[in-house]
Amino acid sequence: KFDLKEEELRPYFALPAVLDGMFGLVERIFGIEVKAADGEAEVWHPDVKFFNVYDVESKEQIASFYLDPYSRPENKRGGAWMDVCIGKSDACERKIPVAYLTCNGSPPVGDDKPSLMTFREVETLFHEFGHGLQHMLTTANVGDVAGINGVEWDAVELPSQFMENWCYDKETVYGFAKHYETGEPLPEEMFEKLNEQKTFAAGLMACRQLYFGMLDMELHSNFDPTAVENGGETIFDVQKRVASKYIPHTMPLDIDRFLCAFNHIFGGGYAAGYYSYKWAEVMSADAFGAFEDVGLDNEEAVQEVGRRFRNTVLSLGGGVEPMEVFKQFRGREPTPDALLRHNGLM
Active site positions, annotated = 128
Continuous segment of H or E residues that includes residue 329: helix 322-330
**Is 282 in a helix, a strand, or coil?**
helix
Continuous segment of H or E residues that includes residue 65: strand 61-70
**Is 219 in a helix, a strand, or coil?**
helix
The separation between the first and the last C-alpha atoms of the chain, rounded to the nearest angstrom, is 22
Could you please report the per-residue DSSP string of 144-182?
A: GGSTTTT--GGGTTHHHHHHHGGGG-HHHHTTT-B-TTT
Of 343, 345, 325, 342, which is closest to residue 289 (Cα–Cα)? Answer: 342
Continuous segment of H or E residues that includes residue 102: strand 98-105
For helices 15-30 and 119-136, angle between their N-to-C axes, nearest 10 degrees = 40
Cβ neighbours of residue 100 under 8 Å, at least 6 residues apart?
65, 66, 68, 81, 82, 83, 84, 85
Measured CA to CA in angstroms, residue 58 lies from 53, 61, 90, 310 at distances of 12, 9, 20, 15
Q: Cβ-count burial of 5 within 10 angstroms (0-12 exposed, 13-18 middle, 19+ buried)?
A: exposed
